[in-house]
Structure 1
């Protein structure tokens, strides 16, 4: 791999890492495993970098690599786990609190007007900057900032009400 290819790969990783890490997190549901998965997929991408002609398809290439690697890891783990009659000494982690919080957040997002919901998802789920959102939607950065600000205020207000109802 030449110096320019190496620089292109480094720039790609720097720009797309947060988004790709979120995709890996959706596949694994564990931050550490997601980081390992992304690293393995990027290593495969690095090895194939000069063979990838369509640079617009890089995200898809890395995502496909993550899916394939995750399936391989899952199969390997599945073969290494054996049932037992004895209970483990350490308690098993309870992840229901995270899923309940996610459900609450989804309900809160669903209450927002479509435009505000879209801006919040672009800003916090897709990790786009305000300038990137403005460019993508053809609006000013000020419009993005004010819309996100109003949406966050509404989410905070609704969240306070939601959690007060739970108590």
Structure 2
């Protein structure tokens, strides 16, 4: 006969399941912006949640789990980038499809995705944290484990690189400033 789980572990599991249901879409969006690939983003979110689940009770004891989960997500991404740096990366430009552009904001979305793909991993992480997750410089520095000055310089360098490599995004970069 199976014994029922203890009330405290069940409560922790339920809280974790609630957190995952509430945040998985947002975490997936962030992971997609970081990786530029839907499948890698799913893997990154899954690996992050596996690590977080193992420490969930301790994370809850510290208060709000969101900063910790973000930190794990971004550090895992940087770790993956270092580990798989030598994988084949497709090059060249995919030809445009014939037909009128009826996509509206999709063109900008694609341009942003392509621009993020050419940035260094830390630059990409800083821009995602600052402008997509709307974190302050201090919060972004905490997530990445760097100083506020590093966040500022990475942001400045990333925006300058975007201006140079993706002139189509000049308006988007201007808004970000």
Which has the larger helix fraction?
1
